[in-house]
Amino acid sequence: MPSDSISPATPALRGRHALITGAGRGIGAAIALRLARDGARLTLVGRHADTLQRTADRLPAGAEVQVLACDISQPDAVAAVFAQARAGFGPLAMLVNNAGQAHSAAFGKTTLDDWHQMLAVNLTGTFVCSQAALPDMLAARAGRIVNIASTAGLRGYAYVAAYTAAKHGVIGLTRALALEVAARGVTVNAVCPGYTDTDIVREGIERIVGKTGRSADDARAEFVKSNPQGRLVSPDEVADTVAWLCADGAAAITGQSISVSGGEVM
């Protein structure tokens, strides 16, 4: 081999087991693709196995992946799925709490059921999954928990009070847990995307068009006007941030809420 040749770099996360919730589409699917390229062994979790399988089918050739259907708002189901995940790929080194839902309504029209659903999926699901993953990381004295929050967790948004409250809760949980495990080799961070080019935003644009008769371009402008860059965030940009937090170079980063929003939150 010539002396000036460079050996291929070892993938940053080779062999490390990562569980990603809400991995069937959007940001979760982008995170799965990125972590697979970095060599992680992936457990993809979500409510619909067929949607998860479509993500699995897009991963690079040779990627190690298992698909497990679960409603993360149900603690017993979470416990069972985490046991299955360990049986397949061993202890967890990384958890990405990405699963979430957004419900839009005026505050006075937000029902108690809506409120409970937003808390159950966005906040309680993050809590339950973190509790399930943490023993592996503490035993290894190494681990990464990354919570996908939102700029809604850093500021207020009208007409999504329950969602905003839940995402503020995710950031509070991130900070509290980060302090508890900081000296034990585990980091806990939140990634806070602004409006991102996903099915959820596209569906929101369709609702605006249907209710107001405005054009799709006008409706889209409502979503990008708060972003100083004047655009939607790409799911890949969120995934890149998650991958950085999962890698060894981010070992000193914990308890942070990182805005990926084109400057919307500074």
Positions marked active-site: 163
Q: SS3 helix, strand, coil % of the chain, rounded to 5?
A: 50, 15, 35
Rounded to an integer, what distance in angstroms lies between the CA atom of residue 27 and that of residue 146? 13
With contact defined as beta carbons under 8 Å apart, do 123 and 173 qualify? yes
Rounded to an integer, what distance in angstroms lies between the CA atom of residue 38 and that of residue 250? 15
- Quick one: angle between helices 75-89 and 125-140, nearest 10? 30
**Which stretches of the chain are assigned E, i.e. beta strand?**
17-21, 41-46, 65-69, 94-97, 143-148, 186-193, 257-260
With contact defined as beta carbons under 8 Å apart, do 223 and 200 qualify? no
Rounded to an integer, what distance in angstroms lies between the CA atom of residue 250 and that of residue 135? 21
